[in-house]
Structure 1
Amino acid sequence: MPISRFMKNALTAAIVTGGMVVLAATPAQASTDVTVHSSPCPVCTTDGYGWFKADPIGSTPGDALKACDLRADGYSIKAWLYNRDTGNLIRTVSTAGHTANYCTDWKTGDLPEQTRVWLDVCTMDGTRKIRCDGGEGWS
């Protein structure tokens, strides 16, 4: 049985409208903090960590990076924040030159919302990487 012109127009409108609803209902990626620990083994005490904080809370700024050295072992902790999609370095922080139980200040700068970031954190002996780990977050 042939479909009338009216039915074709109604069906087309329903498909287009339904498609718009589906597109509009797709959720945006939420901001996600990431903390990465540098540790000599999965069950060992951490050497330190890097922390990307996506959104500001109180006096803690957003799109911010810090590194903390927790172990008095002569090594430092260095953190690199990259744009996950382009590979471009966004910012870096290091505890080099400070004694253990030291955290850097927050290093911050506005990022476009929903920027996918990658955080690399390494225990460093001068400029030599001893051990590293990484993780993903979103601004």
Structure 2
Amino acid sequence: MARLRTRLAACAIALATAAGTLVVGSSPAHAAANFSFHYYPSPNGYNIWINNDDRGLPAGSGRWLQDPDGPYPGDALVADDQLADGYGIEAHLSTGRIATTRGHSAPYTHYKTGNLPEGNKYYMYVCVVKGDYSNCSNSVAVYA
């Protein structure tokens, strides 16, 4: 009788394990890439560079430009996607302004501009995005 209970218990465990494997195995999860954020103040704003650590390559950046800089007018929020890895870049400003490369193939740059009151302090952060996935940097203070 003890042998029968042991066999039944073993069968129950095997069935539970097999059922769990079938449910879990039916839709395998894909691990997201590893990204790191690097912070650099600049003379007229701030840069947050993103590295795709799995590939060892720069993925892109988010930038704040308080004054005109090259082709960008002042008070510009810039999202720059440099790596064709399937992820997009979003730059966010505490005003609600967002520059995004979501839905575009890399390399791609998008910027949002609009004059803000001079000297005011805002906060910027940058995210790597793909579908529902979002991995964001810490926020940094920026000024208009």
User: What is the TM-score of this pair, normalised by structure 1?
Assistant: 0.63
- May I ask how many residue pairs the two structures share in their alignment? 100
- The structure with the largest strand share of the pair is 2
**Aligned equivalent of 2:112, options 107, 114, 117:** 107
Gap change, CA 1:117 and 1:45, over 3 Å in 2: farther
RMSD of aligned alpha carbons: 2.0
Displacement after TM superposition at 1:134 (Å) = 3.5
**Aligned equivalent of 2:63, options 44, 51, 59:** 51
Gap change, CA 1:133 and 1:37, over 3 Å in 2: farther
**Aligned equivalent of 1:120, options 119, 125, 134:** 125
Residue in structure 1 matched with residue 83 of structure 2 by the alignment:
71
Displacement after TM superposition at 1:100 (Å) = 1.1
Structure 1 runs (4+) deviating above 4 angstroms are: none
* Highest RCO, 1 vs 2 (Cα 8 Å, sep ≥ 6): 1
User: Is 1:96 matched with 2:105?
Assistant: no
User: What is the TM-score of this pair, normalised by structure 2?
Assistant: 0.61
Unaligned 5+ runs, structure 2: 1-42
Q: Percent identity among equivalent residues? A: 34
Unaligned 5+ runs, structure 1: 1-30, 83-88
Gap change, CA 1:39 and 1:134, over 3 Å in 2: farther
